[in-house]
Structure 1
Amino acid sequence: MIRALDGHTGRKREGGGALSPPSSKHFPGTPENQDTASRTECLRPREAPFMQPVTRASPGSLRAAPRPAASLPTRDAFEVTAQRPQTSQDRDRYFSGFKQGGTGNCVSVAAIKAAMAKFGPDQVFKSVKRSGQGYDVTMRDGVKVRVSDAELATAGRLSRISGRDPKLVRDAVLMYAAMANRAQLEGNDGRKNMSFERACQSLNDGESYREGPRWLGLQKHVRKIDPNDIHRYTAVVGASSRHAVFASDGFVDHYGKKRPSTTRGGLEIEGYGRPLRGAYALV
């Protein structure tokens, strides 16, 4: 399974054990080779020319500037509304409305954007109900989690999700908080009895790119696809050896910028010019 490790130069531990050795396999990006068991490393998000190789900079230059935590929502901010078909104009908002910050949570952010593109930001979960000092969330697979106001504030601070659309930022932070609660509940990476903050960190230190839908309760909506077919779908997550990205309608997300889907050497590439080695669509 391709594992995106944004912002880390080491390999992620499995279940708290020893670091696994790097894979020596090559991935030409064809259907028979995608999704093979591999660990991948991601650079910390930063601006770089689209489709240009990234020159590794000094550690200091990779530090992202502090971002303000997302503001707490109003009481009715997450009311689930009637689902309607998503248009290309709707999906344009998900490219630019919010983006990944200086953490390694590209898998979570890409999954959230794809979920919005498929269902709409108010229909990703089966229900969201205000209860006391927090929200009771029921996911589409029936799993229920509780997101307190304090956890929502923590999620906003640790996820570092930011953007130009305040409502989409709030929606994304709630989804991230619910994902962290489920990761805490199910012991992400074999870690039992995690605090909520540690669960958030488990989403920030690299994930298999196909784990995003699991934490959102959308496993039954996942279809594995050829990375070269991402232009055929409207709610896609693709993964290179170092980064996971949202894609829709023939465009690829690059930290809040909508870029045309592009090939190099016959393979679809992400914003840094690396070939996509795996992809799924939400259907």
Structure 2
Amino acid sequence: MTEINELIAAINAGDFHGKRFSPEQIFDAFKQGTVALPFPRRIGGGGNCASVALVKVAIASYGLDGVFRSIGVDYTNERYLVGLRDGQVNTLSFEDYRTGVEKSAFEAFAQGGDAGAILEFGRFCFAVMAEVKRTMYGWGRYQRAINDLNKSEGADEVHRLLGLPATQVADVSIAALSRMQHVLVWNRYHAVYSSGGYYDEFFHGVDGKALPSKMPLSELQHVHGDGQGDGPSGAHVFL
């Protein structure tokens, strides 16, 4: 709890005002891990790829001080008060935040510099997304929203869970996307953060694979598809 509260205090104090991170920092700060679900799931990175991709694109596009309109810490009632960019205001209890961090399975990839702050804030974003989803559907249990996020979320709609205005990219060819920075890209099987013609790859060290933290976007259909017709099928940017 101390780390995220200190980070929020630094954000509110203006320490991150106007600060933006390079694609390399976003690629390397954290990766999608294997989530724990209450039922069998395929081996790999779990099903929260769209959530991971959205969080990375949001941080890259807006910075730590711009993803949300406001973040308050209510120590008396042990909760966070989070104002989204679409005008919603959500409360997230300290207990649910801890659950969200644990169940997100966001794995640290890089060390030093701003990597820790990006990872910590990314986990906070995921915890908020679960609370927004719980509220949106009127569910009583926070864990239900976590499970639902982790078994997969539609990449074309996941932006609603952070209250962000998504702009659809008309041309999703590799050539067009390679000219763009900070894009949420998806195909039939996977969703990724993409920038400058590369995407973030979690599939290293799994099933004997040894892949880097970023891969050419042209490889998406081969690593996460049948290699033929599974190139990018959709993309969003956040302005």
TM-score by length of 1: 0.66
Q: Quick one: distance in 2 between partners of 1:72 and 1:277?
A: 41
Q: 1:74 to 1:110 in 2, by over 3 A?
A: closer
How far does residue 271 in structure 1 lie from its aligned partner after superposition?
4.1
User: For 1:185 and 1:276, how far apart are their aligned partners in 2?
Assistant: 31
What TM-score, normalized to structure 2? Answer: 0.77
1:107 equivalent in alignment to 2:50: yes
Change (3 A) 1:270 1:98: farther
Is the aligned partner of 1:162 residue 2:118? no
1:91 aligns with 2:34: no
Q: Is the 8 A contact 1:72 1:170 kept in 2?
A: no
- Uncovered stretches (5+) of structure 1, i.e. residues with no partner: 1-70
SS in 1 for 2:65: coil
Amino acid across the alignment from 1:278: G
Is residue 80 of structure 2 the alignment partner of residue 130 of structure 1? no
| Partner amino acid, structure 1, of 2:103 | L
SS of residue paired to 2:156: helix
Deviation per residue, 1:171-213 (Å, 9 max, x gap): 01110011111101111xxxx3241111111111111112221
Which residue does 1:141 correspond to in 2? 86
Give the secondary-structure state (helix, strand or coil) at the position aligned to 1:76.
helix
The answer as to whether partners of 1:245 and 1:270 remain within 8 angstroms in 2 is: no
Aligned residues of 2:3 and 2:120 also touching (Cα < 8 A)? yes
1:75 aligned counterpart, secondary structure: helix
Is the contact between residue 72 and residue 149 of structure 1 (CA under 8 Å) also seen in structure 2?
no
Distance 1:168 1:151, change over 3 A: same
Matches within 5 A, 1:1-283: 73-78=3-8, 79-80=11-12, 81=14, 83-84=17-18, 86=20, 90-102=22-34, 103-132=46-75, 133-163=78-108, 164=110, 165-187=115-137, 192-218=138-164, 220-228=165-173, 229-255=176-202, 257-262=213-218, 269=221, 271-272=223-224, 273=227, 274-283=230-239
CA–CA separation in structure 1 for the residues paired with 2:90 and 2:217: 36
1:207 match: secondary structure:
coil
2:6 maps to amino acid: D
More helix by share: 2
Higher RCO, 1 vs 2 (CA within 8 Å, ≥6 residues apart): 1
Using the aligned pairs only, state the percent identity: 27
**For the residues of structure 2 that align with 1:73 and 1:175, how far apart are their CA atoms?**
14
